[in-house]
Structure 1
Amino acid sequence: MTVKRRVITLFLGGGVAGLCQVTRGRRQLGLSGAGRDLPEQVKMLPLLFFHLPVLQLLSVSIVESKDCVYQTLIGDDANLCSKDLQIIYPDVGDVSCMYIPDCSEYPERLSKVWGPPVIRYSNAYVELEYILLMVDPDVPSRSDPKNKYWRHWAVTHIPGRELLNGLPMTGNILSAYRRPTPPPFTEYHRYQFLLYLQPIGLSPSLYSAEESPGSWNIDDFVSRFHLGFPVVTTQYMAKNIKQ
């Protein structure tokens, strides 16, 4: 299939001034040089945007084929993404930092057919173990997230070798994979993947009160088991085709 690349230019009205704080990639969220210490507080990187009295132009690179348009996330939604963490589903491939294409029945397969994605982390340390959390912060919708977070997946004791090579994970499943099923008329939902170092000597678990996946206090879980910052994060976005 012939695939071509084009650039779409979005016009954002008004002037823009202020600071944009960005934490992306392993340098901001990752391990120390030795790779054995839990991540430490990282300073946010301020980027100054100059005040413009005219319209601003924002170029968005997308890939399109005969049947599909593959569009990457931009702006604040891209800040959580890292090229080091891949989320790989059958047929569509790596969807990290992407909108799920509305073609080839991909949205339906995501919600009804595909099982857990393959997770590949190119900077994983083979001698360490990791914890993976997958959540949706946009429940029931991004404009009214009163039931966030929805826990879609939680796995502990994941061998670094499996993440490095994109192998099926043999860790301890705290919460079995739940397919993304965004409700109709709620626009796009963010499906976020957060990878933490497994604390040595600790076995994180869920309280009985956390049995339900909805309204999950992820901050409490992270604090309870001293997970600190994730070593890497990413997300993709999907919506119900009934909009």
Structure 2
Amino acid sequence: MRLLINIIRYYTACAATWGSWTTCTLEGTRIRTRQCSTEIESQPGDCFIDCFAWSTWTACDTSPIVADQRQTRVRQCANGAETAEQACHSSTTVGTTSDGWYRAGNGYEYIFMANLKDHVGAIEFCNALDERSILASVGVRDGTLVSETTTSALGIPANVWRYHVGATDIFEEDTWVFEDGVVLRTSQIDWGTSGSNVQQPNGGTNQGCMNFFSPASVATIPGASDTACSDETPFMCERVAL
């Protein structure tokens, strides 16, 4: 009984509210603190991140492309660093491809679809377009790329203010799983603001899928937004360029 009393006293001795979690380290850990009467208490925690975002691809020699040349990228995961590689593209020119996709500077191609789909429908549509195609993921996490892939080159109308992209937190609130397998916490994502000056995300467990506020619209500040997975909106597909 005395042991139980001591345990209860220990966990109720400080009534102060815990502060915000720190940014996750590359080892996938974080801490938060609170000020108690005589000392500052700290609490460690896991980030539930399998892998951080990929780095950008290494540069290719484009004058001309060297035969069999390859480029690489890396990401830090819970079990160590992962490396991916691919052949350098025969053409690295940014612009529209022959089949209507927009080739961005990161080695991926994008296409905007104006037809309305819910989140699952958008995933299925992108997957059916091409064996390399997924609902846009890499381009959503790269601030520089976001600007590039939301230009008029993609043909996004000014009246389209949001569209589906490939991430959801339906499995665990505030842990966003992207279509390419990357997992990020809410604090690691650049969120947008709606025209009524509402900072995203703001839907809690009722809005478990990700939209993106379009820079083509004057109604929003560009960035990610949470939305109900059943909402039917336009969407953007993404594929690795060849």
Q: TM-score, normalised by structure 1?
A: 0.25
Q: TM-score, normalised by structure 2?
A: 0.25
Structure index of larger Rg: 2
Higher helix share: 2
